[in-house]
Structure 1
């Protein structure tokens, strides 16, 4: 075992299995499944040769486990296939969950390509509709303007200041502040509903029974109706041609508009604007988060995904004159500095490999 908490988790999980499944013979070790972008860690515990559970180490000092359990129940009640929470110890920060396996949507999308992607996205649209229509979003934290601005502040602090070592002057901060205000207000002007907040191809699982499982939902909020859709279709881990993305988004909009007068009243043109501007807010946040994961948490693999996120930001911002100031600054200052940083990291890697 790698650490004390892992040993304690195994002991707790084994005891829970013995109480709930007396005939099971759990393995005496945990298999690492993954850690997400938080402090939570996931392990697989075999309880029979053909059955397993997920044991979760979720430190209560950093993770809101009561919210996780509550949200899992809300999603299931709404008709979304979230993992059942089978046991929980709030004091220690341990959970046992239903095992959704290892088949993420992402590899299937990569294999399917443009011709087959919509077939895979359709169940994701179904689950998102169930989430938006079936959950009581007013029971969730409000994704208000301070939270929206705080998320974009991660871009300033961790991407610009931390990763790129940029020292912004008063004028640059004014440009960013104006753009952040514009994007936050645009998000708040949209119809509001339940938002998963990390709805993308690594958090959607292809289950053995043919259904689509939804994980990593603990940060759900009451927010803009386009947030999860743009997370899914302008995914940080896979990209598609813009005409395809816009067509798939339109298909979802038509289904959502059928059941929501507020969404229907937006119209397709306003919906496209909503979708685009919400994506800009999210991608600014993501650049900050991926930088923080590298700098603070030593999770550097996310750096490889920043160029795609940057391209999303630039390609969409160019369509909106209201964002001309931040776009001009980004192209003049951020793009060349990011290229320098990437080249420097590549040179260090090449040097280390040569010495090895």
Structure 2
């Protein structure tokens, strides 16, 4: 997928000396010699990674700061994290924080495959297209990317992949990796997940879920997090936080330890064991102890729905894929696309068709959406 250019513009009100602020709620003044180097008013629909951290997450980080805590996950916050996750993923969930999404995927998939194993996924899977070869280089994994419709696999395609690799001359499929929501913004239904998981298990495959945007999918489906993970037979989950308001961090969540092996050791040798793990763990407590995960995802989804409706009203603009989470895919006339790229950044998913991907975040506003839709409408009217 082509990468966007860097956003233009300079920071307004950039300090030339020390910036300072006041921490929320405790009257402590925080001093820093760092300089603000971005315009805090700059908005983009390029990626939900562009957004900052939710204020409640930043407050949790401040809460966890100060004093000394044991390192490498022996701290009080990490000790309680299994309990936090078990309220959402069932009584057997085991949680292992890592730094990022590729790290979560690599650790999780190593834990369900042998050295000669392969992972079945879609061709456009993040681990196949956008992780820089990390699954192959670090995990030693063979990825079997399959064509999909709107980012979703079927039991037939999974069965064909297993049958096609049926002897020692091929890497043996040992895991199925699904994304929820998918890279194309769609969501597997609970029934689809249950059917695919049962089918994979019947073929001897463990099932991994890349849940970078699992919160958005669960909100879209109107179900608890467990309904599309533990309850449908997912064995191991990469649970996303960064795209839903965290500063950094994801988690490997083991749901069936009879199929998942050695995560603590794999995390360490994959360089994802954080020394000050309390700062990873407390963010997930902020996200999951209450309903922040749901509030953030619901807002992002709502903004995507609003954006898709507004864009569909412009001449020559078509919503090209189902809008089921916080992603909107649209096709734009070439001249409209060219002019918009002079002023906005977004991913061009398919240059030949003019299909672009627009992402909404927990902090996307109605004003952001309306302003971009109005700009599209103006450019479309010129064409």
On whether the aligned pair clears a TM of 0.5, the verdict is no
For CA contacts below 8 A with separation 6 or more, give which structure has more relative contact order.
2
- Given the two structures, how large is their TM-score scaled by the length of structure 2? 0.27
Instruction: Kindly indicate which of the two structures has a greater share of residues assigned to helix.
Output: 1
Instruction: Kindly indicate which of the two structures has a greater share of residues assigned to strand.
Output: 2
